[in-house]
């Protein structure tokens, strides 16, 4: 079927986004700790890495750490004095990620902040935190619109924002869909459609993770 073919195509191109032993170890540790299997795929992690490198990111913000798999792809695009702040609600997830990222050699670049991301973001705004160059939003989809508003306050003109899982097997086209995550995406789209400072596009994707997609946004002056 289609999903099978999409997975075969991902497998074929896997040679272009190879996982080294550290990335494999991060995935394995998350699996062994019983974390849900909802990290980005390797080719998506590589895309995050490439975008971070293309924008020359020195400061990266991630919302939704899980076991630190996407975190490692992103952190590897940073210069030695770069910073990645990643926000995670679940202390157990954060523990797994902290240990994995230390073992992968990026522990000193990464700051894992435990707690509800909205609170962590509000605190960073209140503290006058230096703007980020790249933001990756990959946590509870119900709060997407709020995450974008707060990310904007932690951005500068030119900051790139990526939002994962915005297609949800096409469920987003249903205005009365009962899933709160779908409604969270739809509220985000309403916000983006008329936002004067966020310049967005959405790309659908297929592959080992099924039919989904991501939004890429640029922060305007
Ligand atoms: N970015 C990760 C990756 O690709 O490797 C996957 C992140 S996973 C899809 C979403 C994570 O967001 C989970 O670890 C979950 O515990 C966390 N999360 C859910 N609600 C949250 C909230 N309100 N604040 C912060 N993190 C939250």
The CATH number of whichever domain residue 8 belongs to comes to 3.40.50.150
Domain membership of residue 199 as a residue range: 2-219
**Ligand 1 centroid distance, CA of 138 (Å):** 6
With CA atoms as reference, report the closest residue to 158 among 217, 209, 109.
217
Asked if 217 and 192 count as a contact pair (C-beta separation under 8 A), the reply is yes
Q: Which two tokens stand for residue 185?
A: 């995406």
The secondary structure of 134-147 as a DSSP string is: EEEE-S-GGGHHHH
| CB distance 160 to ligand 1 below 6 Å | no
* Tens digits of residue pLDDT in 88-128: 999 999 999 999 999 999 999 999 999 999 999 999 999 99
Ligand 1 atom 13: residue of nearest CA: 66
| CB distance 146 to ligand 1 below 6 Å | no
CA distance 18 to 29: 18
Place of tokens 């297609």: 167
Count of structural domains within the chain:
1
Phi, psi of 17 (to 5 degrees): -135, 60
**Ligand 1 centroid distance, CA of 126 (Å):** 23
Ligand 1 pocket test, pick from 89, 92, 101, 168 with the greatest ligand atom count within 8 Å of Cβ, gives 89
CA distance 19 to 42: 7
- Report the percent of the chain where pLDDT is more than 70: 100
- Which residues on neighbouring strands pair with residue 212, listed in sequence order? 205
Q: What confidence tier does 25 reach under pLDDT thresholds 50, 70, 90?
A: very high
CA distances from 183 to 68, 176, 216 (A): 27, 8, 19
Q: Which atom of ligand 1 is closest in space to residue 45's alpha carbon?
A: 4
| CB distance 39 to ligand 1 below 6 Å | yes
| CB distance 116 to ligand 1 below 6 Å | yes
Regarding pTM above 0.80, the answer is yes
With CA atoms as reference, report the closest residue to 163 among 86, 212, 215, 218.
215
- What torsion do the CA atoms of 25, 26, 28, 32 make, to the nearest 10 degrees? 130
| CB distance 88 to ligand 1 below 6 Å | yes
* Tens digits of residue pLDDT in 182-211: 999 999 999 999 999 999 999 999 999 999
pLDDT of residue 51: 98
Ligand 1 atom 27: residue of nearest CA: 89
Q: Which atom of ligand 1 is closest in space to residue 71's alpha carbon?
A: 5
pLDDT of residue 65: 98
**Ligand 1 centroid distance, CA of 1 (Å):** 30
- Report the percent of the chain where pLDDT is more than 90: 99
pLDDT of residue 134: 99
Ligand 1 pocket test, pick from 33, 66, 93, 184 with the greatest ligand atom count within 8 Å of Cβ, gives 66
Average pLDDT, the chain: 98
Enter the DSSP assignment of 168.
G
């Amino acid at each position: 079927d289609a999903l099978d073919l999409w997975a075969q195509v991902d497998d074929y191109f896997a040679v272009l986004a190879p996982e080294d032993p550290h990335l494999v170890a991060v995935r394995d540790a998350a699996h062994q700790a019983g974390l849900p299997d909802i990290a980005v795929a390797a080719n998506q992690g590589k895309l995050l890495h490439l975008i971070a490198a293309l924008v020359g990111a020195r400061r990266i913000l991630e919302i939704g750490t899980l076991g630190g798999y996407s975190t490692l792809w992103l952190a590897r695009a940073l210069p030695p004095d770069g910073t990645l702040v990643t926000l995670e609600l679940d202390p157990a997830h954060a523990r797994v990620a902290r240990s994995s990222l230390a073992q992968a050699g990026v522990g000193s670049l990464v700051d894992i902040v435990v707690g509800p991301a909205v609170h962590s973001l509000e605190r960073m705004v209140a503290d006058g935190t230096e703007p980020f160059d790249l933001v990756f939003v990959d946590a509870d989809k119900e709060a997407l619109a709020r995450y974008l508003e707060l990310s904007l306050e932690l951005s500068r003109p030119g900051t790139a924002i990526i939002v994962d899982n915005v297609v949800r097997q096409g469920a987003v086209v249903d205005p009365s869909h009962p899933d709160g995550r779908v409604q969270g995406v739809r509220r985000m789209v309403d916000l983006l459609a008329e936002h004067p400072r966020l310049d967005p596009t959405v790309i659908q994707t297929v592959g080992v993770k099924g039919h989904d997609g991501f939004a890429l946004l640029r922060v305007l002056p």
